[in-house]
Amino acid sequence: MHQDLEFSLERPMGKGETLIRNTRFVWGSRTYVMGIVNTTPDSFSGDGVGRDVETAVAQALQFEAWGADIVDVGGESTRPPDYYAGSEPVSSEEESSRVVPVITALASALRVPISVDTSKAEVARRAVAAGASMINDVWGLRRDPEMASVAVETGVPVVLMHNQDGTEYDDLVPDVIGGLLGLLENALDAGIPEEKIVLDPGIGFGKTAEQSLEVLRRLDEFRSLGRPILTGTSRKSSIGKVLDLPVDDRIEGTAATVALSIAGGADIIRVHDVREMVRVARMSDAIVRGWSEE
């Protein structure tokens, strides 16, 4: 791992551009906002719309109006089953039945690209056929052996997240960076072009609250990977533990993590509270990237 990590630190810092649907994302120009649409009955955030396509479309259209750059549609809760009660895996058929009708309806309603949040190849394949333009996989193409092939066949960009069973690390941040480098190289070996890969350090996945906070604190070290970075901190349990607040009362905590993620180099923030976090992102960008009245 340490040899791979040394290689990663020599990667070029430029991140270039990525075409998602018909929108060109210029990395480093500003922070992009991904709004979350949960088509689940057991979303940890309590905002799942289930099979109500009309409500999901209205939510996504509102996100777009508020300034979201991507809408991320998921049909299976990814909350840890040992931390939150009631999260159960679902079949590809069940997950597809939740996301595909929503994506089909959104494809003709939205101007911004649609991402599908799934680790199942068949769900991803059906979602892209329905109109999704990106695959967001919390297992980094590792849970389903066919997922990389789907990404190559469909030609859509992918988000690869660091995740693991358990929270044991030799050296947290170097280990997570090394893990992301492995995901990146596996994707490249499978034939996915580098410009179509976004990396996510996986806040709250295979990490304790303390570890998640350390990853955020040292997010600038992930720039060495040379790819755009997505952070998903919205309403996470680490915020709840620090502030001792329930999931529906973590907006200020989320705002703090979003602002500091941007200061650390995040290119995309994945959030539930789109209106508020778009404003946080714009203000953070003005400070971090510069701003002028002209």
Is residue 8 within 8 Å of 177, Cβ to Cβ? yes
CATH number at residue 236: 3.20.20.20
Residue 173 lies in a domain: yes
User: Cα(228)–Cα(293) distance, rounded to whole angstroms?
Assistant: 28
User: Cα(23)–Cα(222) distance, rounded to whole angstroms?
Assistant: 25
Residue 237 lies in a domain: yes
Report how many domains make up the chain. 1
| pLDDT score, position 89 | 82
Residue 293 lies in a domain: no
Residue 11 scores a pLDDT above 50? no
Residue 64 lies in a domain: yes
Stronger pLDDT, 287 or 293, i.e. the higher one: 287
Residue 70 lies in a domain: yes
3-state secondary structure of 135: strand
Helix%, strand%, coil% for the chain, nearest 5? 45, 15, 40
In the predicted model, what is the mean pLDDT of residues 18-45?
89
To the query of whether residue 120 is one of the catalytic residues in this protein, the response is no
| pLDDT score, position 266 | 98
Residue 294 lies in a domain: no
Residue 7 scores a pLDDT above 50? no
Contacts of residue 69, defined as CB under 8 A and 6 or more positions apart, other chains included, come to 23, 25, 32, 33, 34, 112, 113, 268
Residue 22 scores a pLDDT above 70? yes
| pLDDT score, position 249 | 97
In the predicted model, what is the mean pLDDT of residues 136-160?
98
Identified catalytic residue from 21, 79, 227, 270: 270
Residue 122: count of CB within 10 angstroms of its CB: 17
Residue 292 lies in a domain: no
pLDDT band at 79 (very low <50, low <70, confident <90, very high): low
Structure tokens at 212: 């998640």
Dump pLDDT digits (tens) for 48-77. 566 789 999 999 999 999 999 999 999 997
In the predicted model, what is the mean pLDDT of residues 183-187?
98
Residue 259 lies in a domain: yes
To the query of whether residue 270 is one of the catalytic residues in this protein, the response is yes
- The whole-angstrom distance between residue 14's C-alpha and the CA centroid of its chain comes to 20
Identified catalytic residue from 98, 207, 236, 250: 236
Tell me the residue range of the domain where 138 lies.
2-287
User: pLDDT exceeding 70 applies to what percent of the chain?
Assistant: 89
